[in-house]
Structure 1
Amino acid sequence: MDDWKALAVFASVVRHGSMSAAARQLGLSTSAISQQVRALEQSHGVTLLHRSTRKLALTDAGERVYAECARMVEAAERAQQQLRTTRDAPSGELRLAAPIGFGPYIAPALTPLLAAHPALTLRLLVDDAMIDLIDARIDLAVRVGRLPDSSWVARRLCAIELWLCAAPAYLQQHGQPRTPEELLGRHWLSQGGARGNEGMGLLLHLQHDGGQQRTLRVEPRVSSNNQLLLQQMCLAGLGLALLGSPDAHADIQAGRLQRVLPEWRLPVLDVWALTPQRDAQPAKVRHATEALADYLRSLPGMLP
């Protein structure tokens, strides 16, 4: 390693034509430059430069060594340029993990970024299972709700409201609930293992706009780890479901779904961006995180 530094100093002396010029370029004293070159020569028993008061000249050995040193310095400069590019402009492969329910949001959020940076590629892993982010070499992961303890760095992007929803046909057949207690005994479609304990029903924490609170446990008729499937079943009139506000917004606006007890609110779910480290984030991760945050916050029903 010491030789590498001395070889780089020697290459700079040759490139700039004098030790004083190399010293100015490297921010060192002329004597320090001279000592580095002399130590290199002494350690290998080879004279690299003929010195005079007016000029320097390469020996035959110095010419051969300099040719290799020049290639070494050029490679180092290319590596430095690559580091600057990675830091300043999105490039390379971005490995992103997200739940299945977030799949429809990834494309519109990241398409402008990909279009603006042709050197950036995307590998998207969409899965509701908790994959090992380290083993999958994930650069950026989107997670919803409470996060387990982890060495990963979490940044909050936005929050999702949960809405109690049902299809008009279901409410026409079974009646519109007027109080939280009327939710008991209804057909429920639940995301198993996410918002309630499996085998123990779905726990609902409701808070009225006026301040009253209710906690209910309901038994799901259908449970799934796929939120999109539950929404399709809700649209088909199979029961009540807790749906994320941005997912349900279009169906409610079109009349395909109705909100149930809209004056009673449920706890919001925070949306997080997880990255493996806090400092020296590559540009691809920084830009993708900002693009996701900006797009998600623009969605109807999403909270900043």
Structure 2
Amino acid sequence: MIHFRAAAFSLSLLGLLAVAQARIQNTPPLQRGAALLKAGDAALAARQWPAAEQAYQQAADAFHLAQDASQEAAAYAKLASAYEQEAAGLLAPAPAGTKPPAHLPSVAVPQGKPAVPAPKTPAPPAQAVAAAKAGIAIRVPAQVASGRPFAVHVSGFAGNPGDWVTVARVGEPDKTYHEYFYANSKREADFSFVRPLDPGSYEIRVFFDQPSLKNIVQARQTFTVTGTAKARGPVPASLPRGTYQCFVYAPHLNGNGGFTMQYEVQADINLGSADYPFSYDAGAGKMRFTGGPFAGIVADTFFHAGGPAIGFDRKDGVLENCWPR
């Protein structure tokens, strides 16, 4: 069954995973990461989500140590897929005679941020501005056309292998990040951001890979994305009104300076009611809440299990996904 876990099965696979991890503990990071990916795939095929999520997370950690951004991104993509499958199971109607689990599991993961291999860096535009913080300079175009790649130059990194740079919307929590790159021990580097951005105000953020400075933005520089938003994939032609079931991956700061993502099933929303009125731009694939507790929030639309779905960042920075019951 997808919805209700068999505890003995789960413990058995977690035990096998622990044995596999012990065997590869002293192997090089790349080899360890590849083995953990296979272990995660086996657990996912058996629908043992905790075991799969643990393996994928540890695989991502191994690839991070190896400074292999593409493999790390692949591990996080698999982790996100495991979360999606688990969420779909948790939101499915419970079989007759069963009770839902008393609590939902937590695993340590950063908020999803798949890295993209950088293509050839486009010629930087003439207009650029520097970060205000002393010792760190960020050069980024003052304006970027929606959907176009753009170049960023950063100087003043601390020289750690895991120093990194990312892009986020102005006003998003500092723990939020999207496309990102590592500096790989360099104190100065160029980066080419290629993932399309919707129109709006954004900023480049710089982080240092030091225990006392993790998750603390060291410098930031704003810029504007211009143009008209366009859907980047298949989107529903319309959104049906009615009851939508929702869930989140809620981040909680842990004692290691990272974040723990916790599954939380949320209250249903009655989309299109007086409490949750909305407008929908099918051309852009964007839905806007026009009133109620989410007033002003814009959601992306997509397909889930063949039906329409929405995903949006709440005002507290938490990503919420919903689809019709």
- Using the size of structure 2 for normalisation, the TM-score is 0.23
Query: Which of structures 1 and 2 has the larger relative contact order (alpha carbons within 8 angstroms, sep 6+)?
Result: 1
Larger-gyration structure (1/2):
1
- Using the size of structure 1 for normalisation, the TM-score is 0.24
